[in-house]
Chains A and B, each alone.
Chain A
């Protein structure tokens, strides 16, 4: 059996524990007690892939009682072998961050501040806006009389930060609305 680095570490830990004091010549018990006190003990491990550059380094999220308690490199990942750069190593703070947007915010025309609103209110109002913009700018035929069936008055940028499934869903949604002004990071 080919043994992975993590399995190796686990296996050697077991072996070391079995060796005992006399064979090693030093007492392992303080290390064992430290390991027992690690904050990730008993936490659920969820494998992840970094959200920053395109190397796609492996990461592990440790979750305990629904709370993220640790985020680190995945030693089993063949590309990164546990390594992360400064950004990947700080990814924990993307989740645990008081600056995250947690509510829908709305800025009215000529308004000077944000107002927190409900999802229901916002989605209904956005849908109404989409319909108005689409209906007033939709072109069934161009100047040459060719069928084009497109919405000229709405544009979209985004996003390479979405998952593939979201990207496909987003392009479906936009092209379903008739948009042709569809662009994102890949162009710039």
Chain B
């Protein structure tokens, strides 16, 4: 999130699109309600009418997978009616940048496309520069090659007629949302967007979010209290686990994983550190070498020296074009490329798209380590449906771990608040905190290499793993290493501005630097004071980076440093502060430089962007610099009404025997989406085993409209089978007015929805009066063109009755 949960209360318009906030983040509705009580308008756009829709002032339907068409129409409406916040757009975004002559867009394709590789040559989308390398600009936004004019041209095609035909949203509903949301372009009105997996789990997931980010920039809503782009993340510490980079492509914190071409540390730093010729850009990532060296010092401690590049060679490297993301991982596993596998606090047999492929992949392993609180479909895959244990070689170790209340440590919520938890009770039986398991496992491996040698033992023998106190994992020791040390004094660094690239500082994850310093454990703070009055609670816990509660907050003020809206100031420049030198009051600003009018000393507000401004034109993404509507891989229409490119031209399509996709196939005529319910969580491993929760939601169901029920002869409560090209599950039918058929370009299109919390292992019931299996047996293993997040929110399925309600 750019903002945080309590901040919802500061908004004038709250758009919830791509999530079901009231059911999946229920307590956060408190702050939406607080905004509504102030007169704010709450809009829910979703294929299903949910409990969020019931709380919204306006519910607007759209077909799964058509969000860019909807948002593209909104961009057009805002530009046509000149509702943008011009001063913000001209000064804080790249709207004025001149795009090079090689950029073009025609019939769904940007320039530079290679259809064989399904890849673009992005050099075609570069900006035009002058003789000094500075980007050419037209602050009047009139130049036909400037971003603003190209944007206008790009979305001119997204009129409400075509948008309505694609999305199935009635035209009057489109206009209503566009008018209400467009009203936030005024400096004294702010809109916010709340999204979740309803936007990410698409082949165009990244561009869904980018389209909204562009709208927020055009309307001047980023950096503002009550504004921003707010991802409602699904897990308690998925923000933290991302910050710590348990992902193939990044290392802590958000530095790219070294690749083969980065032959040494100098090459890595030189190649990956962004550069700019823009004189007013802070280009914060120019500090990357400091963060990288400090990270290596945290990895390898004293063994990492200047002479050995701080152990850079010991760190594993990807091949230059290697992609090890989730779908690729299970594809490689299915091909038998791994002998060993850790499923640590995860249940991929139910959470992975095309779960049959995942389950078969597990059978190709020699061994698996499964760490969890409860038995689950992954650890027990070998005796699951369709499996013959006598033919499965995989050796499985199931290790019992402590739950959150049985250990100590911190977690980061969606608003980047990092809060400390204390141990309340001992774990049951022989279960252990995960930290102890990791330390003991490392020690067992280290001893083997120390004794017997083996392939390249240095990184194992030199790894800094001194995090035990009295033989037990000590979260404080790790938290301090994550914060970082001044190695010359042995003191904790105050924050990341103190980090160096010469090996005299260590820091596990630079954005957490400042969380546990010589002032103490900032994450454990419980001070409820709120001097700004806008709900920042700056002394409650700690927030990354440097306790900044709303990021990009220097965009919330005008060129003189005065808030666009003084009623909800995030920061403001006080010329009298700092003994007359001037200073910022309020939240921690994005850098302490004076306001933009001081052209000598100021810096542009978007400090993480190389050019200092936000990107309305985004030349870094894989499928183009502007979001364009493409249909989901599996969809109910045989052509894209906006171009002859039906699906995302840059999305990777797998072609193995288990990778089945069928579109516009009469066997699978209905659009299907997966989702969650309040009473269960993810694959249900932490909720299905809890009797109180299982009683409230005992079994898998599928929701469908009354019209579809009639068409298929299905009544409420009947047992049905839901099937896609990849698999099938049994479910109880909920025939409801909450789902309505869509009118898509004159055709009736039905949509169904199915939650994904269930699995065969528990509850056990062979007669199907409880339980069920994973909805991910149905979902396709195709991913977003940038992130490879699976397209679980829009695919094609069928539903048929098995048994009448008994």
Contact = CB atoms under 8 A, between A and B. Distances in A.
A149 B410 contact: no
Nearest to A127: B444
B322 interface: yes
Interface in B148-191: none
Contacts of A56: 236, 411, 413, 417, 419
B482 to A, nearest CB: 5
B435 A166 contact: yes
B460 interface: yes
Contacts of B26: 85-86
B346 interface: yes
Range of interface residues on A (Cβ < 8 Å): 35 or more
Given A63-B425, A168-B508, A49 B236 contact: yes
A23 interface: no
22 contacts: A46-B424, A47-B422, A48-B421, A49-B236, A49-B419, A55-B413, A56-B413, A78-B6, A83-B27, A83-B30, A90-B687, A101-B375, A119-B440, A123-B441, A130-B445, A155-B329, A164-B237, A166-B475, A167-B240, A168-B508, A173-B441, A185-B241
B456 A188 contact: no
Interface of A: 2, 4, 46-57, 61, 63, 66-68, 71, 76, 78-81, 83-88, 90-91, 93-95, 97, 99-112, 114, 119, 122-138, 140, 142, 144, 146-188
Given A51-B404, A90-B693, A111 B431 contact: no
Interface stretch (B36-44, B382-390, B606-614): B382-390
B344 to A, nearest CB: 3
A96 to B, nearest CB: 9
Contact of A54 (B392, B413, B449): B413
A106 B398 CA distance: 6
A66 B454 contact: no
Which DSSP category, helix, strand, loop or mixed, fits chain A's interface? mixed
B243 to A, nearest CB: 7
A61 B455 contact: no
Contact of A67 (B243, B260, B425, B679): B425
Interface in B370-426: 371-375, 379, 382-383, 389-400, 403-414, 417-419, 421-426
A173 B409 contact: no
B406 A95 contact: yes
Interface string B242-265: 111111100110000100110100
Contact of B414 (A54, A80, A101, A112): A54
Interface in B440-483: 440-442, 444-445, 447-449, 452, 454-456, 459-460, 463-465, 467, 473, 475, 478-479, 481-482
The 6 closest A-B pairs by CB, nearest first: A102-B429, A163-B409, A159-B345, A158-B344, A56-B413, A127-B444
A128 B448 contact: yes
B464 A172 contact: yes
B323 to A, nearest CB: 10
B284 interface: no
Interface in B284-339: 298-299, 313-319, 322, 324-326, 329, 332-333, 337-339
Contact of A165 (B27, B403, B479, B789): B479
B341 A180 contact: no
Contacts of B30: 80-81, 83
A133 B428 contact: no
A94 B405 contact: yes
A110 B396 CA distance: 10
B465 A172 contact: yes
Contacts of B428: 95, 100, 102
Interface size class of B (residues with CB under 8 A): 35 or more
Nearest to A82: B27
A131 B442 CA distance: 11
Contact of B238 (A2, A54, A129, A170): A54
Contact of B422 (A46, A50, A180): A46
Contact of A170 (B246, B419, B429): B246
Nearest to B324: A181
Contacts of B207: none
A55 B27 contact: yes
B58 interface: no
B463 A176 contact: yes
B716 interface: no
B733 to A, nearest CB: 23
Contacts of A99: 374-375, 689, 762
A48 B411 CA distance: 11
Nearest to A107: B396
B540 A78 contact: yes
B338 A155 contact: yes
Given A165-B435, A175-B299, A127 B478 contact: no
Contacts of B395: 106-109, 129
A157 B232 contact: no
Nearest to B433: A166
B138 interface: no
Contacts of A136: 339
Interface stretch (B80-88, B111-119, B347-355): B347-355
Given A85-B26, A94-B686, A95-B425, A158 B371 contact: yes
A103 B397 CA distance: 11
B482 A126 contact: no
B391 A177 contact: no
Given A164-B411, A171-B246, A48 B422 contact: yes
B66 interface: no
Interface in B584-642: none
A153 B342 CA distance: 12
Given A109-B392, A162-B237, A169-B438, 10 more contacts: A78-B6, A86-B678, A93-B693, A99-B375, A102-B429, A122-B397, A134-B454, A138-B456, A142-B319, A188-B789
